Amino acid sequence: MVHVSQTPVLALRGVFKRFGAVQVLSGVDLEVHAGEVVALVGDNGAGKSTLVKTIAGVHPIDEGVIEWEGTKVDINRPHDAQNLGVATVYQDLALCDNLDVVANLFLGREIKKGGVLDEVAMEKRAQDLLSTLSIRIPSVRIPVAALSGGQRQVVAIARALVGNPKIVILDEPTAALGVEQTAQVLDLVERLREQNLGVILISHNMADVKAVADKVAVLRLGHNNGIFPVATTSHEEIIAAITGATDNAVTRRKSRSAEASK
C-alpha cells in the first residue's frame, strides 16, 4: 500500500488540550489519508485516547487546527464528527446485548419506511455489509449476547461503517482477543483500507501494528515523537520512540552541546 491521496482526509495541526493542570496534548500533528492505516502508539498517559477523543468530538481542542479534506473544521460534539464522517469504535464496544445484530448495526440510524422500521431493508443491508467485509456470524437475527468476543468486535466495527464514514478510529480492537480472532480483526482492518477508508488504529501490540499499519505515529507525554513508515522501521526503533530511549538527559545534553559548538 503506497498509493495515497495528496490531501489528507483528516489532518491535525498543532493541537493542544489541557485538563485542569495537566497539559495532555501539546502541539500534536497527525495526518490520515484515504486508504491508509495509521497506528497511534504510545505509553499509558501519552495522550492517545485524548487525541482520539478530540477527533471524535468528545473533547473539543483548546488550540490548533483540525482540517477535513483540506478545509478547517470545528469538532465540538460527537455529532459534528459523525456528520463529517468519523466513526469511532471504542474499546468497550458498547453494543446492546439484548438486541440482535441487525438492530445493533442500525441503532440510532434505523432505516424507516413511512415512519415504521423497515426490518427487511435493514436485514438485507446488514447482510450485504457483513458479506463485503467477509464477516461470518451465525445469523444476523441472534442477540449480540450470543456472539463471541471476536464476533462482537467485528459487529462493532461493521456498526461503525453503517454511516459510510471516511475515517474509522479503532481503539485497541485486538486487546481482548485470541489468536484466530485477532487475525480476523486484522483482516477486517485491511479490508477497510481496500475500501479506501482512513483508519486510525490504537494498539499496544507491536505485532499487530507491524502487520497492518502503513504509518506509525508515536506519542510521548503529549508530544509527537516521530512518525515512522512501518515498512522501513524496526520494532526497536518504535519501542525506543515510545519509551523515550532516544530522548533523555544524555541525548538532550549531547544535542545542546552540538548546537553550542556550531
Partner 1 sequence: MSNTNEASATVPAQATEAPAAAAGAVKVVDPRLLVREQGFKGYWTEFKRKVRSGEIGSLPVVVGLIIIGIVFQLETGNFLTSYNLDQITLYAAGPGIMAVGIVFVLLLGEIDLAVGSVAGLAGAMWAVVGTDIPDSLAIIVGILSGTVIGAFHGIVFAKIGVPAFVVTLAGFLGWAGLQTWVMGDKSTITTPLGSFVRDLTSYYFADVAAAYGLAVFVIVAFYLAQLRDSRRRKAAELPHRPQSEIILRTALLAVLCLLAAYAFNQEQGLPLSLVIFLAILVITDFVLRRTTYGRQIFAVGGGIEAARRAGINVSWIRISVFMISGTLGAVGGLFLASATGGADRSLGGGNQLMMCIAAAVIGGTSLFGGRGKVWSALLGILVIQSIVQGLNQMNLSSNAIQYMITGGVLLIAVIIDSVSRKTQKTAGRA
CB burial of 24-41 (b: ≥16 within 10 Å; e: otherwise) equals bbbebebbbbbbbbbbbb
**In the bound complex, what is the minimum distance in angstroms from residue 14's beta carbon to partner 1?**
29
Check residue 146 for interaction with partner 1 (CB under 8 A).
yes
**In the bound complex, what is the minimum distance in angstroms from residue 162's beta carbon to partner 1?**
11
**In the bound complex, what is the minimum distance in angstroms from residue 161's beta carbon to partner 1?**
14
Residues 13, 18, 124, 204: which binds partner 1 (CB under 8 A)? 124
Check residue 128 for interaction with partner 1 (CB under 8 A).
yes
Check residue 194 for interaction with partner 1 (CB under 8 A).
no
- Find the farthest-apart pair of alpha carbons in the chain and give their distance in angstroms, rounded: 77
Of the two residues 104 and 203, which places its CB atom closer to partner 1 in the complex? 104
| Nearest partner of 34 among 243, 158, 222, 199, judged by Cα | 199
| Alpha helices, H only, 106-248 | 119-132, 149-161, 179-194, 206-212, 235-243
Check residue 108 for interaction with partner 1 (CB under 8 A).
yes
Which H/E stretch holds residue 250? helix 249-260
**In the bound complex, what is the minimum distance in angstroms from residue 134's beta carbon to partner 1?**
4
Residues 1, 4, 107, 175: which binds partner 1 (CB under 8 A)? 107
Check residue 95 for interaction with partner 1 (CB under 8 A).
yes
Distance (Å, whole) CA 94 – CA 80: 20
Check residue 116 for interaction with partner 1 (CB under 8 A).
yes
Residues 32, 41, 49, 90: which binds partner 1 (CB under 8 A)? 90
CA distances (Å), origin 12, targets 50, 68, 255: 13, 9, 28
Check residue 127 for interaction with partner 1 (CB under 8 A).
yes
Residues 5, 63, 72, 112: which binds partner 1 (CB under 8 A)? 112
- Reading the block at residue 246, the C-alpha cell is 532516544
| Alpha helices, H only, 44-172 | 48-56, 78-84, 101-105, 119-132, 149-161
Angle of helix 119-132 relative to helix 149-161, nearest 10 degrees, comes to 110
Query: Which positions touch partner 1 (CB under 8 A)?
Result: 78-79, 82, 90, 92-100, 103-104, 107-110, 112, 115-117, 119-121, 123-124, 127-128, 131-132, 134, 136, 138-139, 141-143, 145-146
